Amino acid sequence: AQSVTQPDIHITVSEGASLELRCNYSYGATPYLFWYVQSPGQGLQLLLKYFSGDTLVQGIKGFEAEFKRSQSSFNLRKPSVHWSDAAEYFCAVGRFSGGYNKLIFGAGTRLAVHP
Amino acid sequence: DGGITQSPKYLFRKEGQNVTLSCEQNLNHDAMYWYRQDPGQGLRLIYYSQIVNDFQKGDIAEGYSVSREKKESFPLTVTSAQKNPTAFYLCASKQGTGNNYGYTFGSGTRLTVV
């Protein structure tokens, strides 16, 4: 069965420090991968997505992610974190089954930023 | 601006009541989805619809029902059969096909049983 694992439930970093959020997936075919961010009480905003091509994907708000097939990973990175980046981050894999597309989400990583 | 509107933002339900969550989109997207979010569990798919008058059960459909009479609207009813309905509910729509698509999410409805 397809699944997405985000090993870190909570991460705390200092403002200005670098950030890496981990994501591992289990999927038999070529995965379509997404990272979303959610502020408290809000919906999800797409940060970036990977479908094919260059394995280093640039997104909004200075985020990037690298697809590594050999490690089944799609880790999210940012070189310098801002206080406004404090939020919950979700990795997801797009699944196509029975003629339908749907997203399978990881459990999320909550990011706290210290001043 | 195009987007997804979910209402109400907060909803309180008494035991044994059915309640309906609204989801409206003006993006002209065919596919729409309902997800349930619980702390520490990510998002789980309740129902999805590819076109008008068609919908399919997701992973946790028990205790929920939907309709899709119009392209723009995909309301979710939480019935009394749903034993633990307190959660954050997110509606989404999908744009694109094949190997280039994306999802737009609404801002959610928080349902609490009182």
The residue length of chain B stands at 114
CA distance B100 to chain A (A): 7
Percent of chain A with pLDDT over 70: 97
A101:B110 CB<8 A: no
Q: What is the pLDDT of residues A68-109, one digit of tens each?
A: 999 999 999 999 999 999 999 999 998 877 677 788 999 999
Q: Which of A100, A104, A109, A110 to mutate to test the interface with B (most CBs of B within 10 A)?
A: A100
Q: What is the pLDDT of residues B102-111, one digit of tens each?
A: 899 999 999 9
- Mean pLDDT (chain B) is 93
* Closest chain B residue to A88, measured at CA: B42
Q: Which residues of B touch A35 (CB under 8 A)?
A: none
d(CA B73, CA B82): 22
- Whether the predicted pLDDT of B101 surpasses 80: yes
B43:A45 CB<8 A: no
From the list A10, A6, A7, the residue with the least C-alpha distance to A86 is A10
d(CA B31, CA B51): 6
Peptide bond into B8 cis (omega under 30): yes
Contact B99, B33 (CB under 8 A): no
- Cβ of B98 under 8 Å from any chain A Cβ? no
Output the pLDDT for position B1: 65
From the list B42, B46, B34, the residue with the least C-alpha distance to B94 is B34
Q: How many CB atoms lie within 10 A of CB A99?
A: 7
Per-residue pLDDT, averaged over B79-86, amounts to: 91
Higher-scoring residue by pLDDT: B2, B38: B38
Residue type, B34: W
A41:B94 CB<8 A: no
Q: How many CB atoms lie within 10 A of CB A109?
A: 20
A51:B107 CB<8 A: no
Residue located via tokens 């990175």:
A77
d(CA A74, CA A49): 10
Chain A and chain B share a number of CB contacts under 8 A equal to 61
Contact A97, A103 (CB under 8 A): no
d(CA B4, CA B89): 13
CA distance A89 to chain B (A): 10
Contact B32, B91 (CB under 8 A): yes
CA distance A62 to chain B (A): 19
- Whether the predicted pLDDT of A42 surpasses 80: yes
- Whether the predicted pLDDT of B98 surpasses 80: no
A90:B42 CB<8 A: yes
Percent of chain B with pLDDT over 90: 78
d(CA A19, CA A13): 7
CA distance B44 to chain A (A): 7
Q: What is the pLDDT of residues B6-40, one digit of tens each?
A: 999 999 989 889 999 999 999 999 999 999 999 88
d(CA B66, CA B17): 16
Question: Apex CA A65: angle with CA A64 and CA A69, to 5°?
Answer: 160
A46:B43 CB<8 A: no
